[in-house]
Amino acid sequence: MDTITLAIQFQKKIDQDIKIEPRDWMPDEYRKTLIRQISQHAHSEVVGMLPEGNWITRAPSLRRKAILLAKVQDEAGHGLYLYSAAETLGITRDEMYQQLHTNKAKYSSIFNYPTISWADMGAIGWLVDGAAIMNQVPLSRCSYGPYARAMVRICKEESFHQRQGFEILLTLSKGNKAQQKMCQDAINRWWWPALMMFGPSDNDSPHTAQSMQWKIKRFTNDELRQKFVDVCAEQVKFLGMTLPDKDLKWNEAKQHYDFGPINWDEFWNVVKGNGPCNKERLSTRIQAWENGAWVREAALAYEEKKAARQYSYDTENKTNQVPVS
């Protein structure tokens, strides 16, 4: 079959909501788009462990410490699910790491902001995980099977992340003056970067249209961002706090909140590497990877020795195979 026929069949499957599986024919661009998106997503989970990870040893109660550990561990797990999904597309995890470590692959810019107070753990859970969930729920219906399945598992696990974040902020909002101030300050710092997480506006987003046609994305950046603003504008009232936007106002005609302009200049600069923590985050990841090289090598070397010993044993003692199930 020629490529054009294959491409038509492919799009037909997508239109009928038939999932694409790893060995199915797919256009090169579809594969590339997915590799880019899934690996970025995986990198975001793994880099995203750092800003919260640095508060594990400083969590103010043992309960909070256990929750935070479990949450950051979940992020590692989610990174792993996503790397696995990307690997079905013919790229290895090492290759993806190399792209990350050489600045060729991006990750969510949000993780280039510093976590400077305990309240940031709350704000990240509420706003950053909230924004992530808003993005991820539609992705669990994405046309590519392995990605969709990874997202189903991630969404299921992530629901506790946002709730624990909000609980942190709620506790702070009922606490002493200093805690309340800490709470508002964290919301102020994380609100705009959280809005930027949905990516550039639809007019400036190079991938949205094609991704929608392929059902990799189901809603545009701006649609999801609006939904997020609408939800948060209501939720913040429970905290007795405010969102740092003087233009935030309910629009009766549109049945949505209006909100102020996003600082895209800041967004593109953080994407380009000029955020407050870009260099630090990346160098931490590279250092962890390089410090681990001898460990990974040792495990392989040991396995090779063991396999050689096992092989000579097996050839001498042939046993019958029985079904495992």
| By the rule CB under 8 A, 209 interacts with other proteins | no
Binding mask 212-241 for other proteins (x = CB under 8 A): ------------------------------
> Under rule CB under 8 A, which residues in 150-189 are in contact with other proteins?
150, 153, 157, 168, 171-172, 174-176, 178-179
The smaller minimum CB distance to other proteins, of residues 23 and 254, is found at 23
Report d(CA 73, CA 77) in Å as an integer.
Answer: 6
> Under rule CB under 8 A, which residues in 238-267 are in contact with other proteins?
none
We find the least distance from the C-beta atom of residue 169 to other proteins, in angstroms, to be: 11
Ramachandran region, residue 177 (left: φ > 0; alpha: ψ -120 to 50; beta: rest): alpha
| By the rule CB under 8 A, 76 interacts with other proteins | yes
Owner of token pair 């940031």 = 120
Identify which range of 75-83, 125-133, 201-209, 249-257 contacts other proteins by CB under 8 A.
Answer: 75-83
The smaller minimum CB distance to other proteins, of residues 170 and 231, is found at 170
Report d(CA 131, CA 115) in Å as an integer.
Answer: 17
> Under rule CB under 8 A, which residues in 94-123 are in contact with other proteins?
94-95, 98-99, 102, 104, 118
| By the rule CB under 8 A, 306 interacts with other proteins | yes
Identify which range of 145-153, 202-210, 236-244, 262-270 contacts other proteins by CB under 8 A.
Answer: 145-153
| By the rule CB under 8 A, 24 interacts with other proteins | yes
Among 302, 308, 311, 314, binds other proteins (CB under 8 A): 302
> Under rule CB under 8 A, which residues in 41-60 are in contact with other proteins?
46, 49-50, 53, 56-58, 60
We find the least distance from the C-beta atom of residue 197 to other proteins, in angstroms, to be: 20
- Cα 142 to the center of its chain, rounded Å: 15
Q: 256-258 and 249-251 as β-strands: parallel, antiparallel, unpaired?
A: antiparallel
Identify which range of 9-17, 76-84, 108-116, 248-256 contacts other proteins by CB under 8 A.
Answer: 76-84
